Amino acid sequence: MRGLQAEGGAPVAGPAAAPAAAKRRTRLVAVLVALAAVVYVIDVITKTVVLRALEGKAPLVVIPDVLQFRVIFNSGAAFSLGTGMTIVFTFIAAAVVVAIIRTARKLLSLPWAIALGLLLGGAFGNLTDRLLRYPSGFGRSTQFQGHVVDFVEVLPGHFPVIDYFPVFNVADSSIVCGGILAVLLAWRGYQIDGSREGK
């Protein structure tokens, strides 16, 4: 059968193809996990430092009228959107984490590993706040409703109609960058399994 396929021009995968793909998948999953861990650690550290230094205090101006650090507690989604839907965003973040973990089983693309790593690290960062920060927390009746710490404010005072916009954190930035990269990859036809549509 292998001889007939080869004569007919059909590609025949060698016996080493499956182990090689598995080895590549393992390396790419390691990249995904490492990137997610870096994003998560930076997010937790920056939130902790900012809370200790600025909670209850005046904003720290980095570049006048362009960038400042100001602590707010966000019950909504990224960039303080959708406040009042905390529990919904908690389950969305959890679903994103599960979906990325399941998708990693097909991962054979480095750009997709980077995109998913950014998304996973950001989702974990904000999900930690949802589960552990006030008013959520162990033993409280408001489970899954913790407020996310946002502190990076660009162009302060230039959006009077929208309260606290845009104010974000490292996790939000990671989610947005990962999402943009994923959209670009999908638009260009790059697949998670390393193939490309039309090629």
Phi, psi of 148 (to 5 degrees): -80, 140
DSSP 8-state class, residue 87: H
For residue 82, what pLDDT is reported? 53
Task: Check 129, 150, 163, 193 and give the catalytic one.
Answer: 150
pTM, to two decimals? 0.80
Active site residue 65: no
Residue range 61-81, pLDDT digits in tens: 999 988 999 998 887 655 555
Listed range (79-88, 98-107, 127-136, 151-160) with the worst mean pLDDT? 79-88
**168 in helix, strand or coil?**
strand
**DSSP bridge partners of 153:** 68, 167
Active site residue 193: no
**154 in helix, strand or coil?**
strand
Task: Check 129, 163, 172, 193 and give the catalytic one.
Answer: 172
